[in-house]
Copies of this chain bind each other. A is one copy, B any other.
Amino acid sequence: MSTFVGIEAGGTKFICAHGQDSHDLSDRVRIETTTPEETMPQVIDYIRQVSNTQRVDAIGVACFGPLDLDPFSEQYGCIASSPKLAWKNFDMIGCLSEHFDVPIGLDTDVNAAALAEQRWGAGMDIDSLIYITVGTGIGVGAIVDGQIIHGAMHPEAGHVLIPRLKEDTFAGICPYHGDCLEGLASGPAIKERWQVESALHLPANHQAWQLEAKYLAYAIHNYSLCYVPKRIILGGGVMKQPELLPLIQINVIKSLADYIDHAYLKGHQYISIAGLGENAGILGAIALAEREFNV
């Protein structure tokens, strides 16, 4: 039996666990994200302890971005121009491979979550899907024709531009683009626009959700035409409002106006809620390890 170590490397904490799949994850250990010098030795200790009792076949890291994932780049496997300055240019793959001679899979947290949803969640057996998380930010992970999309780096499709409703004068909160999707429709944008402490404090019949559904539907219109996924999986804190999914579904159908025609688009599962919830990150890390092992 293979054992995989998964590391969910987030901006405030690293979660480490090991196991073979979604059902047998063992001992989740939480390590504070401070500096590479403080955090990584604890991560390495964790992996070493696991190795003492069983064979570790691969390690997967689902990491905050931006990452350099271009195999042609000299900085491959490094954290790129991060606002977390202590981690800028940190060589995640290099650091781990100095200590462990096993395959190491690295990808962004949102790409890893997309992979976990494909492996064990709402996208099982689907070779082309996108995973969208709508929370503190908006992130998109895309798996098309069986491959996680990277390109020169990795998608940052939460920052796409969309049409504005004429009557909407909210400036948007994205420090780069103002009213890109993330600037208009992320959790913090909803809080700012409606002056509430949490998006989920807004009642289900509040006009906020109609607007949120329209803007997310415009973006999904664009993703549907760019990636042509067979399924779109929605996760993140904002999606905990149960009224939102059907509103988005209706608006996407209206917006695409039957222009593209394939069976998946017409299926009731085309836009689905994520199946793994809070576990998507750590399971994504395990899925990255598994994939790297099977390459």
Residues of chain A at the chain B interface (Cβ within 8 Å):
66, 68, 70, 72, 80-81, 127-128, 140, 142, 144-145, 147, 149-164, 176-177, 179, 218, 221-223, 225-230, 255-265
Contact = CB atoms under 8 A, between A and B. Distances in A.
7 contacts: A128-B152, A144-B151, A149-B149, A152-B228, A153-B228, A156-B260, A226-B227
Number of copies of this chain in the oligomer? Answer: 2
B262 A222 contact: no
Given A128-B151, A259-B156, A226 B223 contact: yes
A161 B159 contact: no
A140 B153 CA distance: 20
B161 A218 contact: yes
Contacts of A230: 151-152
B150 A261 contact: no
A255 B150 contact: no
Q: Chain A interface mostly helix, strand, loop or mixed? A: loop
A214 to B, nearest CB: 11
B150 A147 contact: no
Given A153-B262, A155-B226, A161-B163, 10 more contacts: A68-B262, A145-B151, A149-B228, A151-B227, A152-B228, A152-B230, A152-B265, A154-B228, A157-B226, A176-B259
B145 A149 contact: yes
Contacts of A159: 225, 259
Nearest to A140: B226
A228 B128 contact: no
A264 B153 CA distance: 10
A144 B145 CA distance: 11
A127 B73 CA distance: 12
Contacts of A223: 226
Given A80-B261, A81-B261, A156-B260, A255 B161 contact: yes
Nearest to A150: B145
Contacts of A261: 66, 80-81
B149 A144 contact: yes
A122 to B, nearest CB: 16
Contact of A161 (B80, B221, B262): B221
